Structure 1
Amino acid sequence: MPPISPLLLEDLAAVVGPMGMLTAPGDLPAYTADWRGAHRGRAAAVVRPASTAEVAEVVRRCHLAGVAVVPQGGNTGLCGGATPDETGDQVVLQLGRLRRIRDVDPVEDTITVEAGAVLRDVQASAAAVGRLFPLSLGSEGSCTIGGNLATNAGGTAVLRYGMVRDLALGLEVVLPDGRIWDGLRPLRKDNAGYDLKQLFIGAEGTLGVITAAVLRLVPATPRRVTAWVALPDVDAAVAVLGVLREHGGSNVTAWELMSHEALSMVLATASQARNPLAAPHPWYGLVELAGPDGAVGLTAELEAALSEAFARDLLLDAVVAGSPAQRAALWSLREGISEAQNLHGPSLKHDVTVPIRRLPAFVAATASALDDALPGVRLVTYGHVGDGNLHFNLSLPPGLDPAAFLGHSGRLSKVVYDAVAAAGGSISAEHGIGTAKRAIAATYLDPVELELMRAVKRALDPRGLMNPGKVVLPG
């Protein structure tokens, strides 16, 4: 791609104004690396438009000049999908100034928001009218709706509410040539042709720039009962899921799983963290049932489920949160794992999913194969039992040099992804592909599937200027 011209930079600055343009070398690093520092690049400029019209004009001018655009939201991704390459000839399109809540409609049960709106602010706007926007992530204080949609974020409530694509009713998108597609419709039923919004959800900005969305709201569930439990193995975790569904039905909102190694890292690094149970155990689970303010029976449902699980020897111990503070403390143990692992040195992260019934065999076989490949490698395993998504992360064995550990990354990741493929799973459950997994995708995805993706990319972005090098490699 051609080097970016000073004239184009002047044109872009005229579009977005002095507050919307960053070119000074000292201002760019915060936007050219991901939050973990695992993916780094360079950019000619960071452009921060304040409206959809400005986004469209920036994209149009870059398209005419043949300059690539890298959309970026809260920059909390884990796969390099919002990081520019190393050429320094790309423009980062930072959407943080598009943060308006355009409309909240308790009759339609919808909220219309711009792409730069922070997830926590969207949740708060829904709560203000007695509704719930159920997407919940550990990064919800900084991640943005545009990024959530671009990566099809999941989170802890997928068991009950689905991925973010299940919560999106309509989109507004700037296409690669700068045209605006206005698909901001709050309709539950719309069979007038292809469901175009689904092309852009999960596409990581490679097909266009999501600038706004109409999202589905659900009844608020302020009444919550939460328990932390100890499990002997992953087989028990899968069996407990059935028990929870039997007693809690649709009230079961979360069923999270954590290994002993994962919890140990949190306890070692977070000063306020405490093990809720008296003794260590191989595995832990976090379960939550939720309902409206007047809901009765949630506690009875949870207690009945725990009682049956104990009777069937599926649980080793349990504690039920007795206050909001105790609930928050339990959730902080689950949500603190990723940051805690980062503090323990380099890690290899694998966000994978397999059919729920195959989780136990997958975990056992993969753990054994990894120990054969690198004895002593630490498995930091945690995730969402209810949707089959595990973060099967690896940390270096005690005493091993970090560089030497990273030298094993290709071999260790192949062990994990081979096991995922054998179990009929996916190499990416909720973090996307970005640059981190694009070569892996070319290896493990079906060739017909890959060609369909490339065909869509060619049709919508024939010049390859929208977030190039992400998701799929050219065929």
Structure 2
Amino acid sequence: MLNPADQRFARKLPSGVLRDVSPSYLEEPRGRFHGQAGLVAAPHDVDETAAVIRACAQGGVPVVPRGGGTGLVGGQVMPDGVAPLILSMERMTAIRAIYPEESVLLAEAGVTLQSARDAAAAAGRQFALSLASQGTAQIGGVLSTNAGGVNVLRYGNARAQCLGIEAVLPSGQIMHDLKRLRKDNTGYDLRDLLIGAEGTLGIITAASLVMAPVPAESGVAMMVVDSPSAALSLLSLAQGRMAGGVTAFELISGQGLRFLDQAFPKLQQPFADRPDWLVLIEVGLPAGLNADQALETLFVKGADAGLVSDGVIAQSGQQAADLWAIRETIPLANRAIGAIASHDVSLPLSQIAEFITDAGAMLLAQGDMRINCFGHLGDGNLHYNLFPAEGRGREDYDEIRKDLSRQVHQMVVSRGGSFSAEHGVGRLKAADLAEWGDPARLIAMRAIKSALDPRGIMNPGVIFPA
């Protein structure tokens, strides 16, 4: 039952928007934060969303936006401070329109990524953003975190695949910017400002999304390389030969394969011996070009000999799915093993091989541990995760865990990289941003936050410490 203060506030909200505060609204996937809530509101359209935000602005009530809840940096829960109103997009699930001739899809914030992909496919197109959590992740959250995924190399991250947004600003005003234009130079780009803001500057309620053509020919291969440096050379070779046709290029370590053996022993792997390094490559080519033949050219001779020592090319859709299952199950295996610390970092491509070597040497000099380095090598994004040595537990590393992460981030930043490549800042990395962020940029960001959200009600504690 609501307390009297909450009852008085609830009467200011549109009828029918309140939901019970169930535990699912207070959780995040890694269990690092446990949220709280005074109320949960689930508006069914942008006008109800605006009414909720206006009431919160007038009353100084914190607002925590919630989509599918799949974020990994704690942006969807608020563990401390005044109990917030959780604003769920679960009822805003309409595909408002599809324009096949324009390759544009209009989707509300609560539409899951998978539903958007299915709608595009039904129109003979594709919405190319692809994440492991796409069955649950929602468009509003995907845009608010500027999510990445496996196809960034070719199609860009979420920001690059959005033409316009409809949003409710912290004042409760509705920003009608749901345009379908490729060119619109009319002042500040507020669309790009709200995308990636993690709900701190407003609530995205709908978006116009770019659909892409479906390649006529596609192919998937898994190839053995002897080092990350060789993998990068292979990436350069593939891009040069296929002229934009490389859709995904993933790096997989032998440690990740051994974790799969331990956590998912029934998962079939194509190589009896577990290589130290693999790449998973997917290509999409125009009609008239054979994807398998294009992949075969990467088993090269001459000047590029030795880049690939072994490999398999999928001969069917099922085989392609089986190869992708190896990559997509690695995060689940990591969770089963239990990480000491996880890092979502990006680096200039020319710095990656040196970073992997130097970071590994630095960490192993400080203690016995296992390192699983994998991720989206094509766009420079590594998931660099630390695990206990065999026979030891995570608790054995409690005293050095934070320092290990700080040293990893320092090595990344010193090489011109980012400590947050695709997951966002959230609450987990707010202190890292304060330490590593460019001072002038942070001043500008704080000024924008203060101007748009003077009462500080929008997702307090995210990006900037509360």
TM-score, length of structure 2 as denominator length: 0.96
- Report the Cα offset of residue 404 of structure 1: 2.9
Which aligned runs of 4 or more in structure 1 are off by greater than 3 angstroms?
Answer: 308-311
SS at match of 2:426: coil
SS at match of 1:306: coil
- Report the Cα offset of residue 39 of structure 1: 1.8
**Match in the other structure for 2:47:** 53
Q: Which amino acid aligns with 1:172?
A: E
Partners of 2:33 and 2:79 within 8 A in 1: no
Please show how residues 15-414 of structure 1 align to structure 2 within 5 Å.
15-17=14-16, 20-24=17-21, 27=22, 29-87=23-81, 89-221=83-215, 223-291=217-285, 294-308=287-301, 312-373=305-366, 375-414=367-406
- Report the Cα offset of residue 119 of structure 1: 0.3
Distance between the aligned counterparts of 1:54 and 1:114, measured in 2? 14
Partners of 1:434 and 1:470 within 8 A in 2: yes
Q: Does 1:448 align with 2:445?
A: no
**Match in the other structure for 1:5:** 5
Over 3 Å counting, the alpha-carbon distance change for 1:34 and 1:324 in structure 2 is same
Distance between the aligned counterparts of 1:212 and 1:193, measured in 2? 21
User: 1:417 is matched with which residue: 409, 414, 418?
Assistant: 409
Q: Does 1:473 align with 2:456?
A: no
- Report the Cα offset of residue 309 of structure 1: 9.1
TM-score, length of structure 1 as denominator length: 0.94
- Report the Cα offset of residue 310 of structure 1: 9.8
Q: Which amino acid aligns with 2:249?
A: W
Which runs of 5 or more structure 2 residues have no equivalent in the other structure?
none
Of 106-115 and 274-283, more deviation after overlay is shown by: 274-283
**Match in the other structure for 1:460:** 452
Distance between the aligned counterparts of 2:398 and 2:19, measured in 1? 34
Partners of 2:300 and 2:307 within 8 A in 1: no
Partners of 1:4 and 1:90 within 8 A in 2: no
- Report the Cα offset of residue 397 of structure 1: 2.0
Distance between the aligned counterparts of 1:438 and 1:397, measured in 2? 29
- Report the Cα offset of residue 15 of structure 1: 1.4
- Report the Cα offset of residue 10 of structure 1: 2.7
CA deviations 1:401-425 (Å, max 9, x no partner) are: 3223233221110111011011110
Q: Which amino acid aligns with 1:455?
A: A
Distance between the aligned counterparts of 1:354 and 1:151, measured in 2? 19
SS at match of 1:470: coil
- Report the Cα offset of residue 209 of structure 1: 0.3
Distance between the aligned counterparts of 1:36 and 1:309, measured in 2? 47
How large is the Cα RMSD of the aligned pairs? 1.7
SS at match of 1:228: strand
SS at match of 2:140: helix
Partners of 2:165 and 2:206 within 8 A in 1: yes
Distance between the aligned counterparts of 2:230 and 2:4, measured in 1? 57
Distance between the aligned counterparts of 2:203 and 2:4, measured in 1? 20
- Report the Cα offset of residue 308 of structure 1: 4.6
- Report the Cα offset of residue 222 of structure 1: 5.6
Partners of 1:16 and 1:54 within 8 A in 2: no
Over 3 Å counting, the alpha-carbon distance change for 1:275 and 1:44 in structure 2 is same
Of 283-292 and 163-172, more deviation after overlay is shown by: 283-292
Which runs of 5 or more structure 1 residues have no equivalent in the other structure?
none
% identical equivalent positions: 39
Partners of 1:227 and 1:288 within 8 A in 2: yes
Over 3 Å counting, the alpha-carbon distance change for 1:397 and 1:308 in structure 2 is same
SS at match of 1:219: coil
Partners of 2:340 and 2:394 within 8 A in 1: no
Q: Which amino acid aligns with 2:296?
A: E
CA deviations 1:13-59 (Å, max 9, x no partner) are: x5151xx42345xx2x2111102212212111221111111111111
CA deviations 1:287-331 (Å, max 9, x no partner) are: 010135x44222221111233599521122101111111111111
CA deviations 1:152-188 (Å, max 9, x no partner) are: 0111011101111011100001011111001000000
Q: Does 1:428 align with 2:420?
A: yes
State the aligned residue count.
464
Partners of 1:35 and 1:75 within 8 A in 2: yes
- Report the Cα offset of residue 88 of structure 1: 5.6
